[in-house]
Structure 1
Amino acid sequence: MQRSQRQKLIITSVDSGFRSVEDLVTLTGASAITVRRDLAELSERGSVQRVRGGAAPVPSRGARYPFELRQAERAPTKRALAGAAAGLVEPGDCVLIDNGTTALAVARELAGRGVTALALSLHAAAALASKPGNQVIVPGGTVRHDDLSFTPASAERAIRDMRFDYAFVGSCAARLGTGLTVADWGEAQVKRAALTAAHRTVLVAAGDKFSRTAANHFGDLADLDTIVTTSDAPRDVIAEARILGLTLITVDIPENDSD
């Protein structure tokens, strides 16, 4: 079992109550030393509460899984999606790069491409500026722990002050009937602003996102210009996208995608 898979399994198990090291050894098949090391890392990130003999749930937590684990999840697929999305961009374009792990993959693909980019997280900003050639802009204000995203108020204000050739946005869910949704209310406001500030809005999301729904609605498929997704996207979503006249780009799931 990969480290990211193992740690996600530990978090999910501890969510329902105290789990001893022995419980987690049985659950994961890892050694006690490995489980203790995982618990130390997860405790430092605020994902579990380390207690004597095991771990307990954290009373209040933001994202369900730490950014590092979300970034490792389906990394080959995210790189494939990002490569297809970045292929839309020409030197000189102005782009918006959303917060999130798939958006970060897009930012990495756009390093050195000669674009002007508004990055909604420090992770994306660092990726975009890792090679010479880009002008990288970040919102003002404070940065949130873990994913290093800018607070919704500062991000929304920065978006409204610019106009973009492309806005690359992510979504927790994009199910037909419920539309584009995310878990966080503030993030929904930021993404809604992005949809209105760009000449072309591009949703970059794996096919499984189209079978999910979340609490806060920020748009519908009709608000998009392009969808970049995997070849396993639901057929009804593909059909709806074509009816709406959207550009649909699909990529095959890499064979080495083990999550």
Structure 2
Amino acid sequence: MTLEKAVDIFMAEQMPGDSRQARQLARRQLIVEAVVAAGSIRIEDLTERFGISLMTAHRDIDELVERGLLRKARGVVSATSTSQVESSDVYRATRQLDEKRAIAEMAAGLIEPGQSVFMDDSTTVLQMTRFLPARGPLTVITNSLPLMSELRNVRDINLLGLGGQFYNWCNAFMGQMTRREIALLRADLFFVSMSAITDSGVFHQSAETTETKRAMFESSAKRILLSDHTKFERRALHHFARLEEFDAVIVNQGTPPSQIEKMRDSGINVMIAPVKVGG
């Protein structure tokens, strides 16, 4: 079995009824996702990111190593190498690619020429770059290095890159310096995607990521959440916002109808993006 298939099977495991076991499985799924996305991570960094003890981190990792999903050596955990999957942010960027592109196209359609927009470091928001030239002139503000690279030569886009401490695992600038810069700005729109949606809330496994994106959230007149169907009923540690706080939530057409109905019953503006396979 390839690593890609093994990861897919593990990520699809149903949450057990016991809440402690459910939290454990959710945490281990997020650890796998984080390590596969980054390629390798120090175990100490995982304890900080997930708010767990070193003993708990080793216990989680040992279980994942036993399942053949990760490797552990000299205080560093890494993804199992195969020819089918790269252990880098490239892997994360290609997950649910058709869904992300469909959501990104619908999101870009909400932008009017002349507006200023915050764009976060998520791979879903990154897919919006292909649709932005047609929406110009625009001012785009971002902490994402890949997004800066994609837009650096685009005509009619005034690109403002946020500085701060660079985090290799997500290819983005975050931290206190970044938040200070954000606080000095005001934008018309904010486009954001997060790791998990559960209990009518949006969550992320990284506190630093949550704080940086919240600063953009507070500095924007309208907030748009982009989320493919895999984010629903997943769990992450840090609360970011309630779904009701967003002006719109864009999902793909594969999102369970029960989730869409639940959001609409709560008065949330849900937009469903049709997926074009291979588009």
TM value normalised by structure 1: 0.73
Q: CA separation of 1:56/1:95 partners in 2, compared to 1, >3 Å: closer, same or farther? A: same
Q: For residues 166-207 of structure 1, give each alpha carbon's deviation from its aligned partner in whole angstroms, at most 9, with x where no partner exists.
A: 100111011234x10001011111122222211110001102
Q: Does 1:47 align with 2:69?
A: no
Which structure 2 residues correspond to residues 223-242 of structure 1 after superposition, within 5 A? 223-242=245-264
Question: Secondary structure in 2 aligned to 1:253?
Answer: coil
- Is 1:174 the counterpart of 2:197? The answer is yes
Specify every segment of 5 or more residues in structure 1 that has no aligned partner in the other structure, as ranges: 14-41, 50-54
- The answer to whether the 8 Å contact 1:81/1:204 transfers is yes
SS for the counterpart of 1:57 is strand
Identify the residue that residue 277 of structure 2 maps to in structure 1.
255
Inter-CA distance 138–189: structure 2 relative to 1 (3 Å threshold): same
Distance 1:198 1:48 in 2: 33
Do 2:72 and 2:78's aligned partners in 1 also have CA atoms closer than 8 Å?
no
CA contact (8 A) 2:129 2:147 kept: yes
Number of residues paired by the alignment?
218
Give the aligned partner of residue 206 of structure 1.
228
Give the counterpart letter for 2:196 in structure 1: A
CA contact (8 A) 2:41 2:78 kept: no
Q: Evaluate the alpha carbon distance shift between residue 7 and residue 196 of structure 1 in structure 2; reply closer, same or farther with a 3 A threshold.
A: same
Distance in 2 (CA, whole Å) between partners of 1:198 and 1:142 is 22
Between the aligned partners of 2:3 and 2:156, the Cα distance in structure 1 is 38
Q: 1:126 aligns with which of 142, 149, 152?
A: 149
CA–CA distance in 1 between the matches of 2:269 and 2:8? 37
Change (3 A) 1:224 1:9: same
Give the superposed CA RMSD: 3.1
Residues in 2 aligned to 1:94 and 1:136: alpha-carbon distance in whole angstroms: 10
Structure-1 separation of matches of 2:194 and 2:7: 22
Percent identity reads: 25
Cα separation, 2, equivalents of 1:215 and 1:194: 20
Cα displacement (A) at 1:63: 10
**Preserved contact between residue 99 and residue 149 of structure 1 (Cα < 8 Å):** yes
Structure 2: segments with no counterpart, 5+ residues: 10-34, 43-69, 81-86
Q: CA deviation at 1:219?
A: 0.6
